[in-house]
Amino acid sequence: MVARPHAPRSGSRTFGALVTAATLTMGLVVGLPAAGLATPADSSDAAAQKAADEIQAARDRANAAADAAFAAESALDSLSIEVANTEIELADLEARAGSLQTGVEEVAVQRFVSGGGGGIPLLSGLDGPSAQAQADVLIEIVSDTSQSTLDEYDALSKELADKRRSLERAKDQQAQAIKDHEAAQAKALAEVERLKKIEAQRLKDEKVRKILEAARIKAQAEALAKAGNVSGSIVNTGAGNTGKRRSGAAGFFDNGVYVDGSIICPVAGSAGFGDTWGAPRSGGRRHQGVDMMSDMGTPLVAVVSGRLSLWSNGGIAGLAVHLRGNNGNTYFYAHLSAYEGGERYVEQGDIIGYVGDTGNADGNPHLHFEIRPGGGSPVNPYPSVRPAC
């Protein structure tokens, strides 16, 4: 097993059950008391509602901050792509200019030797009107060709200067985007930490948990109503779930939105996330999942019951897992810091790994999560994850 930073080493089902009970049912990992919060022992309805409101407000702030951080990442990636493309275009222009350079030099020499365009020395001294007429035609052709070469070189030189200025502007914008991304990421991590402390204090009250769960169910119902009626057959019945947390239907709606009502939140702890589907990514890619920012080492759980396989990619995904759900869907988790256990059958809610920054997420701990209906192409997971978390 890979060493797991900031996470207790235990692969036992007892540990998994304890953490699942403490994190899934209550939505927390380990938290610090938050100064100035009302005593959770005050279980009146008004106090519970106030505590639930504070938690939801903190979640909204964390989500908004995470969304801004990932938007800054997309802006940075777009500028990085622009810089790379501009550098390629500049190299192409420089190569074309180099190939024209020889021709320009030959024209310059030719005009110097001919005394500035008064004829071509090799054709002087020709006798007879017919021979001289042929020479005049040849001189005109050579002059036209020479001027065309000079005009092309002049235009290319101007284009080169413009492209160099464009590259300089893009690099300046890229440098600023790096600073913006770092600032937005720091703010998002701070909001997630703030949320973690508030949840750790407030979620001790069962009334608060019930209020939040009722709000979650209401939000899911509103999301489904907004999406429209299911078009065609439902591809996911949730029949393979144990019923320990959720067991629902899923499918594509009239507007093309896919909602998976059978999953639980993949991050068993405080997290911030936004809708980053389709956002630009390095290398010209488009984002095909939802990024969920959380502390390094936060437990990740199986969103449904199914077969777990481990997958490692040192380039983009880093440590990753595929979960082939009993419902027919495949779920993909990336950037893990470590696995929990090996390839096996897992129940919904079992711990399968921990949040990390492996792959191309260095310094930005988060979970990249995908939903692939029927094991096919990814769909936007945000409409499914939002009500589940």
Q: Residue 269's domain spans which residues?
A: 20-83+176-388
Is residue 159 one of the residues assigned to a domain? no
Give domain status of residue 106, yes or no: no
For residue 234, give the CATH number of its domain: 2.70.70.10
Report yes or no on 8 lying in a domain.
no
Task: Tell me how many domains the chain contains.
Answer: 1
Q: Does a structural domain hold residue 93?
A: no
DSSP run (H or E) holding 78: helix 45-113
Q: What is the pLDDT of residues 35-91, one digit of tens each?
A: 344 444 444 888 889 888 888 888 888 888 888 887 887 788 778 778 888 888 888
* pTM for the structure as a whole: 0.56
Percentage of the residues of the chain whose pLDDT score is greater than 70: 66
CA distance 386 to 46: 26
Confidence band (pLDDT; 50, 70, 90) for 111? low
Task: Give residue for tokens 């502007």.
Answer: 169
Q: Is residue 154 part of a domain?
A: no
Judge whether 163 lies within some domain. no
101 lies in some domain: no
Dihedral through CA 52, CA 54, CA 56, CA 58, nearest 10?
-150
In a domain, 135, yes or no: no
When pLDDT is averaged across residues 12-31 and rounded to a whole number, the result is 35
Residues 130-157 pLDDT 10s: 544 544 444 444 454 566 777 777 787 8
Q: Which residues contact 63 (CB under 8 A, 6 or more apart)?
A: 272, 273, 274
Asked if residue 285 has pLDDT above 60, the reply is yes
pLDDT recorded at residue 332? 96
